[in-house]
Amino acid sequence: MSQLLIRGGRPLRGEVTIQGAKNSVLPILAATLLTGGQVRLQNCPRLRDVDASIRILRALGCSAEWEGDCLLVDAAVLNSCSISDILMREMRSSAIFLGAILARCGQAELSYPGGCELGPRPIDLHLSGLRKLGAEIDEAGGLLRCAAKRLVGQEIVLSLPSVGATENLMLAGCGAEGVTVISNAAREPEIVDLQEFLKACGAEVCGAGTSTVTVRGGRPLHGCTYAIMPDRIVAATYLGAIASAGGEGFLRNAREEHLSTVTAVLRGAGCEIRVEEAGIACCCRERLRAVRPVRTAPYPGFPTDAQAVLMAALLCSRGATVFEEHIFENRYRHVDELIRMGADIRVSGRVAVVSGVEALHGAAVRCTDLRGGAALCVAALAAEGETSVSEIEHIDRGYACMEQDLGMLQADIRRVETER
C-alpha cells in the first residue's frame, strides 16, 4: 500500500501542466468500440480508472497499448459483448460501455457498476433511454442483459441532466437508425469533448454543450487521432492548493471557460487569478476570506467534484462559508478527516458550514473517495507539521501523479510504500 506524506506551511511556487480529463477520456474509450480502425488518444492520463477501462477493452477483444502519453486502441475485432462483474465493480463510469456495446453488437451483458460510495447514482435514465431506442433489458439477479435487433432513433427527454445517461445515449444513437434527439441533456465540457471525438471518427453529432444533443446514426465510424481536453477538476484542485498554501503558480493548459464558477469563488476569497492564452496564473498573498454560499449544481453551475477541494482551501479563511451539496448525498465523507487536522466544520444534511480557524495541524488521515482524498492533500499543504494520507488508491483514480504535480509547485510531498 502507498501513502502520501505532506509537510505543510510553505507557500507554493512554480508551474504545472494539467493532465487530460478523466471524465472525458473514459466515455471516449467506450466510444472507440464504435470504430473500425485504430484510435490514437493524445494527452491520455495514466489513471487507475483508465487502466480499468483498458482491461475492459481487452476483455472484449480490443487491443490497447501505451506509447508515451498516447494510448493506441484498436477495436477492429470484438469477440465478446459481456463485461465481468469484477471489471464492472472497479469504477462507476463502467456503465458507459453499455450503449457502445449494444450499438456495436446488438446485445450486451454486464453487472451494475462500482466506484466511489457517494450515495445512490442509479442508471435508470441510461436504461429507460436505451429502451426507448428499442433495447430489451432484463435486470434480474444484479445483471443487465440487453438485446436489440436494431436501435431506432427517437426523441428522449431526460428527467434530469445526467452526464452518464447523455453520453450513453450519444453512443447508442451513433448505432441507431435515423435521428436521436436527447433533450435536457447534460452540458458539461466533457460532453462536448465526446462529441468532437465522435465527429473526428465520422459521426454526425451536434448540440453538445447545450440542453439538446442530436445524433444522426447509421454512419460507419473510423479511427482517428484525438487530443483529450485538460482536466478542469484537476485544475480546480491545484488552484485550491495554491489558495490553501499561499504563493503563486501557473497551470498550463487550464481553461478558465471551464472553471469560471471556481475561479469566481476564489477571486471572491481574495486570490488573484489571471487568465492567459497558455493557461491560468493564480496568486494568493494574504489570508483568504469567507465567501457567499457555494451551491453545487449541474454545469454550468458549481461542480460537485470541486466542492471538497474548495472547502479545504477555505479552512483557514476569515469568517464562515456555507456549502450546499445538491448532486450527491454522501459528498461530505471527507469532513471528519479534515476535522482531525483542526478544521471547524458542521454538517447538517446537505449543508456544511466551514468556520475558518487560525491554523491546521498535521495528522494521520485516510481518503474516503477520489475528490475527498484530493481535499485532504489541499488542506495538508496549509497545515503545520506532517500529514500522512492513506488509502490513496482513490486519488490515483483521477490524478495521474499528484505528488509529482504538486512537487512542480515546490510542495513538500512524497509517496511512500507501507506494509498492509
Grid cell, residue 371, equals: 475528490
Q: Are 153 and 172 in contact (CB under 8 A)?
A: no
Q: Which amino acid is present at 63?
A: S
List, in sequence order, every residue forming a beta bridge with 279; answer none if it has no partner. 252, 276
Catalytic residue (choose from 81, 116, 146, 174)? 116
Residue 116 annotated as catalytic: yes
In sequence order, the 6+-apart residues with CB closer than 8 A to the CB of 165 are 123, 125, 126, 129, 158, 186
Maximum C-alpha span of the chain: 64
Q: Which of 358, 253, 260 is nearest to 306 (CA)?
A: 260
Q: What is the DSSP letter of 82?
A: B
Q: What is the DSSP letter of 299?
A: T
Grid cell, residue 57, equals: 477493452
Grid cell, residue 285, equals: 498573498
**Pairing state of beta strands 225-227 and 38-42?**
parallel
In sequence order, the 6+-apart residues with CB closer than 8 A to the CB of 356 are 288, 290, 314, 315, 316, 317, 318, 319, 320, 321, 344
Q: What is the DSSP letter of 202?
A: T
Q: Which residues are catalytic?
A: 116
